[in-house]
Each structure stands twice: as structure tokens, then as C-alpha cells.
Structure 1
């Protein structure tokens, strides 16, 4: 935000809204919104005979950290479906999380808009989707962007 306030940077791409009470007069612009996709390897899927989403309770999970913007929404969705994930690790660093899920021993989730990359590059299987769990990406800028982004 300091970089925005002194015009060192033009905008910030983030998954969180600008905090209320900020001393920088900036604007949130919703860029894109996506549901969530759940992934696992074929070998892990063979260990369950339940249907999605109930079998999510039986698998080990890699989960986003509690400070993640989407974590609360994902946790609410899991609670709604009476799913108690067996969380084996939590990550605030997506690069570190990536090295763990590449081993293929856990279920993980990601925004649906990038699911093709996981399937194509890493041979993970899509085990289900939750469109009601939304990941949102914003551009935060000092001036109102007039290029038509999310203009209604």
C-alpha cells in the first residue's frame, strides 16, 4: 500500500479486499471470481468407496493457512457437508505447498480457473468441484480504473 500511495506501483493484484480504515485512498476492482476444484491422484482415489464430497473426510489434506482469504469459505463448505478433513499440513506459502502436493499423497484444492494446469502438468484427477466456494481476485489501485474491468 505504501508503494501505491507514493506512485511507486500502479496497482496490486490480490485475493483480499482493501482493509477498511486504510490511510491510502484506493479502490477495489473485482478482476475474476472462481469456484474451487478438488484434486487427488488415481492411487489415492482407489482407497475410498464413497461418493464426492463425503469421501473427502477419509483422505489426508493439504490446506491453505488460516489467514488465507478463501480458507473460511472452504471450511464453511466442508462443515455444511459434514466433512472433517484430515489436515496433515497447512501452508501460507503456495510454492512450498506445491512441492508437497506434487508427491501426490494428499487431497488439495485450487481455484477452478487453473484446474487444467494441475491435470495437464501433474496428472492429478479432478475429484469434485464446489462452485459455491469462491476465490476472488482484485486489483487495488489509487484511481478508479476506467478500462471496463467489472463495470456494471
Structure 2
């Protein structure tokens, strides 16, 4: 297969978006024959027909749909280049790339990122993932900061540092229609009779909760487990069960109408900020680390 000519790809993309060669010619101010010839060259280089006749117009073939999907991505990115270059050249945009370990409370993370969120022209990139891959991305400077439920690993090759940002008690919440006064009065033992939503076992919080249940002699009735704490909150608010959440994020949790706090437990959820020597000097990373 020959190397793709992106001018040919662009003409194909316009024809597909406009729904025919005639409309594409009007948009581009070119002759229909010229555009048709360019598209045929693209088909020749790809080795597949991209359009087929449909009445007096054309429609995409299966190969054409595949090509159009990629062309759409390419030219949408291209349309953003001018704006992003201008922002970078004028210093208008401040970029912060943050990794969120999938075991931590996203509501707590939102509050802890607060010192950076009010930055004018902020370009925030949030990536959720498992702890080890996030550490690799941070070490390769693909991320500026990672928020996780554990400190940086003791690995001299990674050269990562960390700071404890928050250690918050965990509260148990449920829809007000399912939470009764007797359950609040008998907390925490009332949890044994309630359907519970818990984080999955790879979360540091889950290990702490399991030890707490064992200490109290409670056999939890687990109806669902979630890697994403925000999703767990949504399902809990929807009536699936009672769920734990860091009190650090309770202001955001209050936005979910109808939730009621059953009680607070002795378990604490920690959130650590992990960073490299270079990213430590990022002004927004400094603002997050230095926040009271």
C-alpha cells in the first residue's frame, strides 16, 4: 500500500461530510472532476472502493465508513491545532495532567484539586487508571501528578516522591427513602442488614473496610463492587445499596439529592499526591501541595 496523500484524504472527507461530489465542489470552490480524480487516487492507494453510487449521488462503502471514521478524527484534531498553538505561544493555557488511581474517592480528588481549578485558561487532563501504570506514566513525564490511596513506591529507578494530602473519616450513605432512624441509631451494626456497595479488592480502602467489618463481627451483604468510586455513589444514590465515601468529598456528595448519612466509621481514607522532581516545580502542583 502506498503512503496516504492527506490532500486526497481531505477531499474524500469533505465529499463524505457534504454527502456528494457536487456539494463538496461547491464548498471547496473546485471542479467536480478534480475532486473525483483526487478521491480515485486515494482509493487506488488504499486498494479499496470508498464510495458507491446511490441514485444520483454516492454513499460510503464499508471500507469508506472505516476511512471516514479515521479521517474525522484526523481533521478534527487538525482544526484544533491553530487554537492550541496560539494558546501555547501566548501563554494563555496552563496545562495540568493528573492521574487518578481508580481506587480513590473521585469526590475527594475533586476537592483536593480545588486550588488548581480556578486557574484562568486551565487545560486540565484527567486520566484514571490502575496504580502501577500511572506510576510509569508519571515517571515518563506524561503526567504531572497522580492522586492515589497509597504513597509513592520505594523504587529508586522511578525517582518519585509523595505527600499525604488528606486522611479523612469514611461515612456511610444511602437514599433517604431506605435509611431509617433505627438504622442510624444502631450504626454500625445495622450495616449487617443492609445491601452494601463496596470498592473492589484492589482498593486500599477495601482492605481497611474488610478489617473493620471483621473487628466488629459484621458479615457484610455485598450486592455490588466498583472500581470507580463516583460510579458507586451514582448507583447508591439510585437505590442499589448503602455505600462508603470519604467525608472530604461530602460537599460534592450533597449535590446528589436525597442521600442521607447513616454514620461515620473509624476507617480513614488517605489520598497521596505523587510527583517527580521536575513536576514538583509545576505552579499548579505546588498550589495543590501547599493548600491548607
Q: Would you say same fold, with TM above 0.5?
A: yes
The structure that is strand-richer by fraction is 1
CA distance in 2, matches of 1:83, 1:94: 22
Which of 146, 149, 152 aligns to 1:18? It is 152
CA distance in 2, matches of 1:9, 1:64: 25
Give the gaps of 5 or more residues in structure 2: 1-134
Provide the residue aligned with 1:80 in structure 2.
Answer: 215
Provide the residue aligned with 2:241 in structure 1.
Answer: 106
1:38 aligns with 2:38: no
Contact 2:175–2:237 (CA under 8 A) maintained in structure 1: no
CA distance in 2, matches of 1:127, 1:56: 9
Provide the residue aligned with 2:276 in structure 1.
Answer: 142
Once structures 1 and 2 are overlaid, which stretch shifts more, 10-19 or 107-116? 10-19
Give the gaps of 5 or more residues in structure 1: none
CA distance in 2, matches of 1:43, 1:86: 19
Bigger Rg, structure 1 or 2:
2
Deviation at 1:97, TM superposition (A): 2.3
The structure that is helix-richer by fraction is 2
- Superposed counterparts of 1:41-56, under 5 Å: 41-46=175-180, 51-56=186-191
Aligned pair count reads 149
Q: 1:102 to 1:87 in 2, by over 3 A?
A: same
CA distance in 2, matches of 1:53, 1:25: 42
Contact 1:41–1:105 (CA under 8 A) maintained in structure 2: no
RMSD: 2.5
Deviation at 1:120, TM superposition (A): 4.1
Q: Scaled by the length of structure 1, what TM-score is found?
A: 0.83
Moved over 6 A (4+): none
Once structures 1 and 2 are overlaid, which stretch shifts more, 89-98 or 44-53? 44-53
Which of 11, 28, 33 aligns to 2:162? It is 28
1:89 aligns with 2:224: yes
